[in-house]
């Protein structure tokens, strides 16, 4: 049985279709299940989306942290690949719900956390994205700034402005790149798909061109690729490989732990489950490993070319000289834009919309995200926290892993992939639980986070003398959080399953995909 729609008019007299009995505080056109007509994304669109997100400055620099910890280049690249194969599993599992029922991440959360409680994890996910949005917008703005100065002989360099701490040209370049994001936000997710499809082959070509440039100019890739692991016999860190590998792997999983949650925001537009699965398998693990290899190989070559390792691609582009600077930084701008729009705008836009659906649309949620991106002064954040960004990857994976565990258990084991979608839009329906909150999900979330808290406080430098056990456990933060929260939630909910279903119609799907 498919729930019937009813026509309603908003305060402006505009007609909309809505589930019969839907609460306007839980419903708007952007959060509603996607219609069959809107499901046009083929596997190539999903793959292009991932390539567009993968090719970015943080991915390029991922191997840097692992190599600096003592890994050989191939160990670092394989760790990146394995981490992305692992995170691909929850990506496809959680993405299944988006494709089957056409609902975005904040709405899917309602069946586990409750119609009100869902706002908490959606906001947690969204605020992480807001931070990354500001940082990536600053990186793109700096690429414009470097291009201008490379073409004019540093004419645009000036004195820092009061309060801001950056010069007028840096400010204008940042605002120009920010405005470009706002333009795409105003045109919705289809404009993002168009950009990703257009940019994906260009970005792959530019990455390979950079690799070829480094190889030719260095006469090979230099000493770094021939340097053995520091963990081998006689090495500086002999026998310590696993102590570095597990936290490194967790950080690699944490890199896309955010997208593993809100992937339904995109798979809700996929034509079929095959499209979302194949698209993600093609677009995520191998391109991530390839770009991580490009990063470590090119950096190895810079030791020969410039006499020092240059991990920052913006700094590297500035040293290239000639028109190559413009090409390299233009590619970097496109890479940053495609990553930022998909990974750091869509999730908070839906998350903010979910806070007050009758007042905040997807577009308005995107504008709020862009506003926060300016308000946080990302250049100041990088001044104080730039060297710790990859440490924090493990930190927020400890926060987001439990949410993923709860979602997977709820959707596959409790709801059997058949949640009552109409009830997700009713304030007094089966997913209202206790005043809109499901205590089982909240308890599971807290218990999933707590074991990793001591290790996090120690890693962040907030507490000294954290025991070896907690430090080691923190190295598995995402896995620990996902496992504990999923098990606790499943145990608490299993007994309620029969009572919840008793006396009601079976949970039904809405607008099934092709």
CATH code, 192: 1.10.4160.10
d(CA 290, CA 461): 33
- pLDDT value of residue 13: 40
d(CA 137, CA 157): 19
Of the given ranges (27-36, 89-98, 303-312, 480-489), which has the lowest mean pLDDT? Answer: 303-312
Whether 204 is covered by a domain: the verdict is: yes
Domain that includes residue 243, residue range: 5-379+389-501
The percent of residues above 70 in pLDDT, for the chain, comes to 89
Reported as a pLDDT band with limits 50, 70 and 90, residue 497 is low
- pLDDT value of residue 176: 96
- pLDDT value of residue 495: 72
Whether 513 is covered by a domain: the verdict is: no
Of the given ranges (152-156, 270-274, 289-293, 348-352), which has the lowest mean pLDDT? Answer: 152-156
Through-space distance between the first and last CA atoms of the chain, rounded to whole angstroms:
17
Average pLDDT on 243-260 reads 88
Angle at 346 between CA 270 and CA 510, to 5 degrees: 40
- pLDDT value of residue 510: 45
Whether 28 is covered by a domain: the verdict is: yes
- pLDDT value of residue 150: 82
Average pLDDT on 296-319 reads 84
d(CA 37, CA 40): 7
What SS3 state is found at 263? coil
pLDDT higher than 90, residue 345: yes
Whether 429 is covered by a domain: the verdict is: yes
Q: What is the rounded (10 degree) CA torsion for 169, 384, 254, 69?
A: 110
- pLDDT value of residue 434: 93
Helix axis angle, 285-306 relative to 313-320, nearest 10°?
50
Whether 296 is covered by a domain: the verdict is: yes
CA distances from 224 to 74, 128, 147, 314 (A): 11, 34, 29, 21
Using one digit for the tens of pLDDT, what is the confidence trace for 83-103? 999 999 999 999 999 999 999
Whether 363 is covered by a domain: the verdict is: yes
* 448 or 251, which is more confident: 448
d(CA 206, CA 377): 30
- pLDDT value of residue 412: 96
Reported as a pLDDT band with limits 50, 70 and 90, residue 17 is low
Of the given ranges (126-130, 147-151, 226-230, 320-324), which has the lowest mean pLDDT? Answer: 320-324
d(CA 410, CA 118): 13
Using one digit for the tens of pLDDT, what is the confidence trace for 41-57? 999 999 999 999 998 88
Helix axis angle, 119-152 relative to 378-385, nearest 10°?
90
Q: 41 forms bridges with which residues in the sheet?
A: 270
pLDDT higher than 90, residue 449: yes
Reported as a pLDDT band with limits 50, 70 and 90, residue 311 is confident
Number of domains in the chain: 1
pLDDT higher than 60, residue 12: no
- pLDDT value of residue 499: 55
Whether 355 is covered by a domain: the verdict is: yes
Angle at 28 between CA 25 and CA 34, to 5 degrees: 135
- pLDDT value of residue 396: 78
The answer to whether the beta carbons of residues 474 and 62 sit under 8 Å apart is no
d(CA 83, CA 73): 16
Whether 509 is covered by a domain: the verdict is: no
- pLDDT value of residue 56: 85
- pLDDT value of residue 498: 56
Question: Tokens standing for 244?
Answer: 């570095």
The answer to whether the beta carbons of residues 120 and 402 sit under 8 Å apart is no
CB atoms within 10 A of CB 514: 11
Reported as a pLDDT band with limits 50, 70 and 90, residue 456 is confident
Of the given ranges (131-140, 166-175, 387-396, 431-440), which has the lowest mean pLDDT? Answer: 387-396
Reported as a pLDDT band with limits 50, 70 and 90, residue 448 is very high
């Amino acid at each position: 049985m498919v729930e019937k729609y009813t026509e309603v008019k908003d305060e402006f007299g505009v007609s909309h279709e809505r589930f019969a009995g839907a609460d306007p505080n839980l419903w708007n056109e952007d959060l509603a299940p996607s219609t069959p007509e809107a499901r046009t994304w083929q596997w190539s669109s999903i793959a292009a989306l991932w390539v567009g997100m993968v090719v970015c400055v943080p991915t390029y620099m991922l191997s840097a942290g692992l190599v600096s910890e003592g890994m050989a280049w191939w160990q670092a690249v394989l760790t990146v690949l394995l981490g992305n194969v692992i995170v691909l599993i929850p990506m496809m599992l959680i993405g299944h719900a988006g494709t089957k029922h056409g609902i975005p991440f904040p709405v899917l959360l309602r069946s586990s956390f409750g119609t009100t409680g869902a706002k908490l994890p959606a906001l947690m996910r969204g605020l992480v994205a807001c931070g990354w949005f500001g940082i990536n917008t600053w990186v793109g703005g700096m690429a414009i700034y470097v291009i201008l100065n490379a073409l004019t002989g540093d004419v645009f360099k000036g004195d820092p402005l009061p309060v801001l701490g950056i010069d007028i040209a840096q400010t204008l370049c940042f605002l120009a790149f920010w405005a470009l994001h706002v333009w795409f936000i105003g045109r919705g997710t289809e404009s993002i798909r168009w950009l990703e499809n257009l940019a994906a082959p260009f970005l792959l070509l530019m990455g390979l061109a950079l690799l070829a440039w480094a190889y030719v100019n260095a006469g090979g890739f230099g000493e770094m690729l021939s340097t053995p692991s520091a963990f081998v016999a006689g090495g500086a860190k002999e026998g310590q490989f696993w102590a570095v590998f597990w936290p490194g792997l967790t950080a690699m999983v944490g890199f896309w732990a955010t997208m593993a949650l809100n992937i339904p925001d995109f798979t809700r537009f996929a034509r079929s489950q095959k499209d979302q699965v194949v698209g993600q398998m093609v677009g995520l693990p191998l391109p991530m490993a390839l770009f991580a290899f490009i990063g470590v190989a090119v950096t190895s070559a810079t030791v020969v070319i410039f006499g020092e390792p240059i991990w920052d691609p913006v700094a590297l582009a500035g040293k290239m000289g000639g028109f190559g600077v413009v090409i390299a930084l233009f590619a970097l701008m496109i890479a940053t834009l495609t990553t930022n729009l998909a990974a750091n705008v869509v999730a908070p836009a839906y998350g903010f919309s979910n806070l007050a659906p009758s007042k905040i649309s997807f577009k308005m949620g995107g504008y709020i995200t862009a506003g926060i991106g300016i308000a946080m002064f990302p250049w100041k954040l990088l001044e104080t926290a730039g060297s710790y960004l990859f440490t924090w990857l493990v930190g927020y994976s400890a926060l987001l892993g439990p949410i993923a565990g709860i979602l997977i258990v709820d959707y596959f084991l409790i709801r059997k992939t058949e949640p009552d979608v109409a009830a997700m839009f009713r304030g007094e329906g089966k997913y209202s639980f206790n005043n809109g909150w499901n205590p089982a999900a909240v308890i599971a979330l807290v218990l999933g986070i707590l074991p990793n808290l001591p290790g996090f406080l120690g890693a962040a430098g907030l507490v000294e003398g954290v025991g070896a056990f907690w430090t080691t456990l923190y190295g598995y933060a995402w896995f620990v959080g996902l496992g504990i929260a999923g098990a606790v939630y499943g145990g608490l909910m299993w007994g309620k399953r029969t009572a919840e279903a008793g006396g009601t119609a079976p949970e039904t799907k809405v607008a099934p995909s092709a």
